[in-house]
Chain A
Protein backbone atom coordinates (compact mmCIF):
# COMPACT_ATOMS: atom_id res chain seq x y z
CA UNK A 1 0.00 0.00 0.00
CA UNK A 2 1.27 3.41 -0.95
CA UNK A 3 -0.20 6.68 0.30
CA UNK A 4 0.49 10.05 -1.27
CA UNK A 5 -0.91 13.42 -0.15
CA UNK A 6 -1.85 15.38 -3.26
CA UNK A 7 -3.31 18.50 -1.70
CA UNK A 8 -3.34 19.72 1.88
CA UNK A 9 -4.73 22.69 3.75
CA UNK A 10 -5.70 22.94 7.45
CA UNK A 11 -9.32 22.06 6.61
CA UNK A 12 -9.02 19.95 3.47
CA UNK A 13 -6.99 17.05 2.18
CA UNK A 14 -6.79 15.12 -1.09
CA UNK A 15 -4.68 11.98 -1.13
CA UNK A 16 -4.22 8.85 -3.21
CA UNK A 17 -3.90 5.31 -1.94
CA UNK A 18 -2.65 2.62 -4.30
CA UNK A 19 -2.47 -1.13 -3.89
CA UNK A 20 -5.83 -1.59 -2.11
CA UNK A 21 -9.17 -3.11 -3.07
CA UNK A 22 -12.51 -1.26 -3.38
CA UNK A 23 -13.64 -2.94 -0.14
CA UNK A 24 -10.74 -1.45 1.81
CA UNK A 25 -11.30 1.95 0.18
CA UNK A 26 -14.90 1.92 1.34
CA UNK A 27 -14.01 0.88 4.87
CA UNK A 28 -11.51 3.77 5.00
CA UNK A 29 -14.30 6.11 3.90
CA UNK A 30 -16.70 4.78 6.52
CA UNK A 31 -14.06 5.03 9.24
CA UNK A 32 -13.42 8.65 8.26
CA UNK A 33 -17.12 9.46 8.53
CA UNK A 34 -18.13 7.64 11.67
CA UNK A 35 -15.17 6.46 13.72
CA UNK A 36 -13.05 9.53 14.48
CA UNK A 37 -13.15 10.66 18.13
CA UNK A 38 -13.90 14.33 18.59
CA UNK A 39 -15.04 16.71 21.31
CA UNK A 40 -18.59 18.03 21.34
CA UNK A 41 -20.77 19.61 24.00
CA UNK A 42 -22.91 16.89 25.53
CA UNK A 43 -24.40 18.44 28.65
CA UNK A 44 -25.82 21.96 28.89
CA UNK A 45 -27.11 23.66 32.03
CA UNK A 46 -29.16 26.76 31.24
CA UNK A 47 -29.80 29.30 34.01
CA UNK A 48 -33.47 30.20 34.29
CA UNK A 49 -34.83 33.26 36.06
CA UNK A 50 -33.42 36.73 36.51
CA UNK A 51 -29.86 37.56 35.51
CA UNK A 52 -28.26 40.70 36.96
CA UNK A 53 -25.28 42.59 35.57
CA UNK A 54 -22.68 44.48 37.67
CA UNK A 55 -24.84 47.63 37.87
CA UNK A 56 -27.84 45.66 39.10
CA UNK A 57 -29.88 45.82 35.89
CA UNK A 58 -32.22 42.87 35.61
CA UNK A 59 -32.26 40.69 32.49
CA UNK A 60 -34.67 37.98 31.47
CA UNK A 61 -33.42 34.49 30.63
CA UNK A 62 -36.27 33.39 28.37
CA UNK A 63 -34.95 33.55 24.82
CA UNK A 64 -36.18 33.49 21.24
CA UNK A 65 -35.25 29.82 20.83
CA UNK A 66 -36.27 26.88 22.98
CA UNK A 67 -33.64 25.56 25.40
CA UNK A 68 -33.40 22.30 23.43
CA UNK A 69 -32.53 24.21 20.28
CA UNK A 70 -29.87 26.26 22.07
CA UNK A 71 -28.38 23.07 23.50
CA UNK A 72 -28.34 21.45 20.04
CA UNK A 73 -26.76 24.50 18.43
CA UNK A 74 -24.08 24.62 21.13
CA UNK A 75 -23.35 20.93 20.66
CA UNK A 76 -22.92 21.22 16.88
CA UNK A 77 -20.17 23.83 17.27
CA UNK A 78 -16.84 22.20 16.37
CA UNK A 79 -14.31 22.28 19.22
CA UNK A 80 -10.54 21.90 18.83
CA UNK A 81 -9.86 18.36 20.03
CA UNK A 82 -7.00 16.76 21.88
CA UNK A 83 -6.80 13.15 20.69
CA UNK A 84 -5.01 12.11 23.85
CA UNK A 85 -8.14 12.58 25.93
CA UNK A 86 -10.12 9.58 27.18
CA UNK A 87 -13.62 8.48 26.35
CA UNK A 88 -15.76 9.04 29.41
CA UNK A 89 -16.85 5.40 29.75
CA UNK A 90 -13.22 4.20 29.47
CA UNK A 91 -11.73 6.90 31.71
CA UNK A 92 -10.04 6.25 35.03
CA UNK A 93 -12.80 8.26 36.74
CA UNK A 94 -15.26 5.48 35.73
CA UNK A 95 -17.71 7.78 33.98
CA UNK A 96 -18.01 10.43 36.68
CA UNK A 97 -16.28 13.12 34.63
CA UNK A 98 -12.74 14.37 35.27
CA UNK A 99 -10.26 16.68 33.45
CA UNK A 100 -9.00 13.66 31.46
CA UNK A 101 -12.35 13.07 29.78
CA UNK A 102 -14.39 16.28 30.20
CA UNK A 103 -13.92 19.91 29.18
CA UNK A 104 -16.18 22.58 30.67
CA UNK A 105 -17.42 25.74 28.99
CA UNK A 106 -19.52 28.74 29.89
CA UNK A 107 -21.50 31.32 27.96
CA UNK A 108 -22.35 34.61 29.60
CA UNK A 109 -23.83 37.31 27.42
CA UNK A 110 -26.12 40.30 27.98
CA UNK A 111 -28.50 41.56 25.29
CA UNK A 112 -29.14 43.07 22.88
CA UNK A 113 -26.48 41.00 21.10
CA UNK A 114 -25.82 38.08 18.81
CA UNK A 115 -24.37 35.17 20.78
CA UNK A 116 -21.75 33.47 18.63
CA UNK A 117 -19.51 30.47 19.17
CA UNK A 118 -16.72 32.93 20.06
CA UNK A 119 -18.65 33.64 23.27
CA UNK A 120 -18.26 30.03 24.40
CA UNK A 121 -15.44 30.33 26.89
CA UNK A 122 -13.32 27.30 27.70
CA UNK A 123 -13.16 27.12 31.49
CA UNK A 124 -11.00 24.10 32.22
CA UNK A 125 -8.66 24.01 29.20
CA UNK A 126 -8.28 27.29 27.26
CA UNK A 127 -6.67 25.52 24.26
CA UNK A 128 -9.78 23.49 23.52
CA UNK A 129 -11.94 26.34 22.27
CA UNK A 130 -14.41 26.44 19.35
CA UNK A 131 -12.49 26.21 16.08
CA UNK A 132 -14.78 28.71 14.38
CA UNK A 133 -15.70 31.87 16.37
CA UNK A 134 -18.40 33.19 13.99
CA UNK A 135 -21.20 30.63 14.31
CA UNK A 136 -24.39 32.36 15.50
CA UNK A 137 -26.06 30.52 18.41
CA UNK A 138 -28.99 32.76 19.28
CA UNK A 139 -29.93 36.43 19.08
CA UNK A 140 -30.69 38.28 22.31
CA UNK A 141 -33.20 41.12 22.40
CA UNK A 142 -33.00 44.08 24.80
CA UNK A 143 -33.24 42.99 28.47
CA UNK A 144 -32.47 39.37 27.54
CA UNK A 145 -29.40 37.54 28.77
CA UNK A 146 -27.91 34.09 28.48
CA UNK A 147 -26.08 32.26 31.26
CA UNK A 148 -25.09 28.75 30.32
CA UNK A 149 -22.55 26.20 31.46
CA UNK A 150 -21.70 23.18 29.36
CA UNK A 151 -19.56 20.05 29.30
CA UNK A 152 -17.90 18.52 26.25
CA UNK A 153 -16.91 14.86 25.94
CA UNK A 154 -15.35 12.70 23.25
CA UNK A 155 -17.63 10.80 20.91
CA UNK A 156 -17.76 9.26 17.45
CA UNK A 157 -19.71 10.21 14.33
CA UNK A 158 -21.84 7.08 14.51
CA UNK A 159 -23.39 8.29 17.78
CA UNK A 160 -24.43 11.77 16.65
CA UNK A 161 -23.60 14.25 13.86
CA UNK A 162 -22.07 16.61 16.45
CA UNK A 163 -19.17 14.15 16.80
CA UNK A 164 -18.57 13.98 13.06
CA UNK A 165 -15.19 15.55 12.34
CA UNK A 166 -15.22 15.16 8.56
CA UNK A 167 -17.59 16.10 5.78
CA UNK A 168 -17.66 15.45 2.05
CA UNK A 169 -15.70 12.21 2.37
CA UNK A 170 -15.42 10.70 -1.11
CA UNK A 171 -13.16 8.58 -3.25
CA UNK A 172 -12.84 7.70 -6.91
CA UNK A 173 -10.69 5.48 -9.07
CA UNK A 174 -7.48 6.92 -10.44
CA UNK A 175 -8.43 7.59 -14.07
CA UNK A 176 -6.28 8.09 -17.13
CA UNK A 177 -7.34 9.69 -20.40
CA UNK A 178 -5.22 8.69 -23.37
CA UNK A 179 -5.91 11.35 -25.98
CA UNK A 180 -5.18 10.89 -29.66
CA UNK A 181 -3.86 14.29 -30.67
CA UNK A 182 -5.22 14.10 -34.22
CA UNK A 183 -8.71 12.83 -33.38
CA UNK A 184 -9.15 15.26 -30.45
CA UNK A 185 -7.57 18.60 -31.42
CA UNK A 186 -8.86 20.33 -28.28
CA UNK A 187 -6.07 18.74 -26.20
CA UNK A 188 -3.90 21.89 -26.37
CA UNK A 189 -6.32 23.99 -24.29
CA UNK A 190 -6.61 21.21 -21.69
CA UNK A 191 -2.83 20.90 -21.52
CA UNK A 192 -2.55 24.65 -21.03
CA UNK A 193 -5.24 24.98 -18.31
CA UNK A 194 -4.64 21.71 -16.42
CA UNK A 195 -0.87 21.42 -16.85
CA UNK A 196 -0.21 19.51 -13.61
CA UNK A 197 -2.55 16.74 -14.80
CA UNK A 198 -0.37 15.65 -17.74
CA UNK A 199 1.06 12.18 -17.10
CA UNK A 200 3.01 11.59 -20.29
CA UNK A 201 3.20 12.97 -23.79
CA UNK A 202 4.42 11.49 -27.07
CA UNK A 203 4.24 12.87 -30.59
CA UNK A 204 0.90 11.14 -31.24
CA UNK A 205 -0.81 10.91 -27.85
CA UNK A 206 -1.04 12.76 -24.56
CA UNK A 207 -2.23 11.21 -21.27
CA UNK A 208 -4.12 13.17 -18.60
CA UNK A 209 -5.31 12.20 -15.12
CA UNK A 210 -8.21 13.77 -13.24
CA UNK A 211 -6.59 13.29 -9.80
CA UNK A 212 -6.53 17.08 -9.61
CA UNK A 213 -9.88 18.67 -10.46
CA UNK A 214 -10.09 20.76 -13.61
CA UNK A 215 -13.34 21.82 -15.26
CA UNK A 216 -12.11 21.14 -18.79
CA UNK A 217 -12.02 17.37 -18.16
CA UNK A 218 -15.77 17.26 -18.81
CA UNK A 219 -14.96 17.38 -22.54
CA UNK A 220 -12.84 14.24 -22.38
CA UNK A 221 -15.77 11.98 -21.46
CA UNK A 222 -17.57 10.40 -24.43
CA UNK A 223 -15.39 12.14 -26.98
CA UNK A 224 -13.81 10.54 -30.02
CA UNK A 225 -10.11 9.85 -29.79
CA UNK A 226 -10.10 9.55 -25.96
CA UNK A 227 -9.40 6.20 -24.30
CA UNK A 228 -10.38 6.14 -20.61
CA UNK A 229 -8.81 3.61 -18.27
CA UNK A 230 -9.72 3.30 -14.61
CA UNK A 231 -7.52 1.58 -12.04
CA UNK A 232 -9.51 -0.20 -9.31
CA UNK A 233 -6.47 -0.59 -7.07
CA UNK A 234 -5.59 3.10 -6.97
CA UNK A 235 -7.98 5.49 -5.22
CA UNK A 236 -8.10 9.25 -4.90
CA UNK A 237 -9.74 10.34 -1.65
CA UNK A 238 -10.76 13.76 -0.44
CA UNK A 239 -12.41 15.09 2.70
CA UNK A 240 -12.95 18.30 4.65
CA UNK A 241 -12.70 18.72 8.39
CA UNK A 242 -14.65 21.10 10.60
CA UNK A 243 -11.46 22.47 12.17
CA UNK A 244 -11.60 20.30 15.28
CA UNK A 245 -8.72 18.11 14.08
CA UNK A 246 -5.96 18.37 11.52
CA UNK A 247 -6.68 16.33 8.34
CA UNK A 248 -3.34 14.50 8.64
CA UNK A 249 -4.09 13.62 12.26
CA UNK A 250 -7.45 12.21 11.18
CA UNK A 251 -5.84 10.25 8.36
CA UNK A 252 -3.21 8.82 10.67
CA UNK A 253 -5.85 7.77 13.18
CA UNK A 254 -8.10 6.25 10.49
CA UNK A 255 -5.58 3.67 9.36
CA UNK A 256 -4.62 2.80 12.93
CA UNK A 257 -8.26 2.43 13.92
CA UNK A 258 -9.13 0.34 10.89
CA UNK A 259 -6.33 -2.16 11.40
CA UNK A 260 -7.14 -2.29 15.11
CA UNK A 261 -10.77 -3.15 14.39
CA UNK A 262 -9.87 -5.72 11.74
CA UNK A 263 -7.43 -7.36 14.15
CA UNK A 264 -10.17 -7.49 16.77
CA UNK A 265 -12.50 -9.18 14.29
CA UNK A 266 -9.79 -11.62 13.26
CA UNK A 267 -8.98 -12.50 16.85
CA UNK A 268 -12.61 -13.07 17.76
CA UNK A 269 -13.04 -15.36 14.75
CA UNK A 270 -9.94 -17.53 15.06
CA UNK A 271 -8.50 -16.68 18.47
CA UNK A 272 -10.42 -19.09 20.69
CA UNK A 273 -10.29 -22.05 18.34
Chain B
Protein backbone atom coordinates (compact mmCIF):
# COMPACT_ATOMS: atom_id res chain seq x y z
CA UNK B 1 0.00 0.00 0.00
CA UNK B 2 1.93 3.03 1.27
CA UNK B 3 5.20 2.87 3.18
CA UNK B 4 4.62 2.53 6.97
CA UNK B 5 5.70 5.64 8.91
CA UNK B 6 7.77 3.76 11.47
CA UNK B 7 9.66 0.48 11.60
CA UNK B 8 7.35 -2.20 13.04
CA UNK B 9 10.02 -3.57 15.37
CA UNK B 10 12.04 -0.65 16.69
CA UNK B 11 9.94 2.46 15.97
CA UNK B 12 12.47 4.40 13.88
CA UNK B 13 10.87 6.72 11.31
CA UNK B 14 11.57 5.07 7.96
CA UNK B 15 8.91 6.60 5.66
CA UNK B 16 11.02 9.63 4.75
CA UNK B 17 13.99 7.38 3.97
CA UNK B 18 11.91 5.34 1.54
CA UNK B 19 11.45 8.35 -0.75
CA UNK B 20 15.22 8.95 -0.76
CA UNK B 21 15.84 5.25 -1.35
CA UNK B 22 13.48 5.30 -4.37
CA UNK B 23 15.28 8.36 -5.74
CA UNK B 24 18.67 6.69 -5.48
CA UNK B 25 17.42 3.47 -7.12
CA UNK B 26 15.84 5.43 -9.98
CA UNK B 27 19.10 7.34 -10.40
CA UNK B 28 20.97 4.05 -10.83
CA UNK B 29 18.33 2.74 -13.22
CA UNK B 30 18.48 5.88 -15.37
CA UNK B 31 22.24 5.44 -15.67
CA UNK B 32 21.56 1.93 -16.98
CA UNK B 33 23.34 0.23 -14.08
CA UNK B 34 22.20 -3.11 -12.75
CA UNK B 35 20.76 -2.98 -9.21
CA UNK B 36 22.95 -5.29 -7.17
CA UNK B 37 22.88 -6.26 -3.52
CA UNK B 38 26.00 -4.21 -2.87
CA UNK B 39 24.49 -1.02 -4.29
CA UNK B 40 21.31 -1.47 -2.21
CA UNK B 41 23.49 -2.09 0.84
CA UNK B 42 25.42 1.15 0.34
CA UNK B 43 22.20 3.15 -0.14
CA UNK B 44 20.73 1.78 3.10
CA UNK B 45 23.99 2.47 4.95
CA UNK B 46 24.01 6.06 3.66
CA UNK B 47 20.43 6.57 4.88
CA UNK B 48 21.51 5.47 8.38
CA UNK B 49 19.34 2.35 8.39
CA UNK B 50 21.60 0.35 10.64
CA UNK B 51 19.40 -2.44 12.00
CA UNK B 52 17.97 -5.19 9.84
CA UNK B 53 14.44 -4.53 11.12
CA UNK B 54 14.47 -1.09 9.47
CA UNK B 55 16.24 -2.37 6.36
CA UNK B 56 13.60 -5.02 5.67
CA UNK B 57 10.86 -2.36 5.93
CA UNK B 58 12.38 -0.58 2.92
CA UNK B 59 13.56 -3.59 0.90
CA UNK B 60 10.37 -5.63 1.19
CA UNK B 61 7.94 -2.78 0.54
CA UNK B 62 5.66 -2.69 -2.52
CA UNK B 63 4.04 0.65 -3.25
CA UNK B 64 0.47 -0.02 -4.38
CA UNK B 65 -1.20 3.29 -3.47
CA UNK B 66 -1.29 4.45 -7.12
CA UNK B 67 -3.35 1.40 -8.03
CA UNK B 68 -5.85 2.04 -5.24
CA UNK B 69 -6.46 5.77 -5.87
CA UNK B 70 -8.95 5.25 -8.78
CA UNK B 71 -11.18 3.11 -6.52
CA UNK B 72 -11.41 5.46 -3.52
Contacts and interface: CB of A to CB of B under 8 A. Distances in A.
B1 interface: yes
Given A135-B16, A136-B3, A161-B6, A168 B72 contact: no
A191 B11 CA distance: 36
A10 interface: no
A132 B13 contact: yes
B66 A139 contact: yes
Given A76-B5, A135-B16, A136-B19, A167 B10 contact: yes
Contacts of B51: 168
Nearest to A238: B50
Contacts of A73: 2, 5
B52 to A, nearest CB: 12
Contacts of B37: none
B72 A64 contact: yes
Contact of A63 (B5, B18, B20, B72): B72
Contacts of B20: 134
Contacts of B1: 65
A73 B10 CA distance: 16
Contacts, number: 63
Contacts of B71: 64
Contacts of B11: 161, 164, 166-167, 242
B48 to A, nearest CB: 8
A141 interface: yes
A148 B15 CA distance: 20
B24 to A, nearest CB: 14
B49 to A, nearest CB: 11
A197 B13 CA distance: 31
Interface in A161-182: 161, 164, 166-168
Closest 6 CB pairs of A and B: A141-B69, A134-B16, A76-B5, A167-B12, A135-B15, A64-B72
Interface size class, chain A: 20 to 34
22 contacts: A64-B65, A64-B71, A77-B5, A77-B13, A78-B13, A117-B16, A132-B13, A132-B16, A135-B13, A135-B16, A136-B2, A138-B2, A138-B65, A140-B69, A141-B72, A166-B11, A167-B7, A168-B10, A168-B51, A240-B12, A242-B13, A243-B13
A164 B18 CA distance: 21
A77 B11 CA distance: 11
- Of the candidates A62, A64, A138, A243, the one having the most CB atoms from chain B within 10 angstroms of its own CB is A64
A166 B10 CA distance: 9
Contacts of B65: 64-65, 138-139
Interface in B6-64: 6-7, 10-13, 15-16, 18-20, 50-51
Contacts of A144: 69, 72
A51 to B, nearest CB: 14
Nearest to B66: A139
Interface string A63-95: 111000000010011100000000000000000
B2 A65 contact: yes
Contacts of A76: 5-6, 13
A138 B13 CA distance: 16
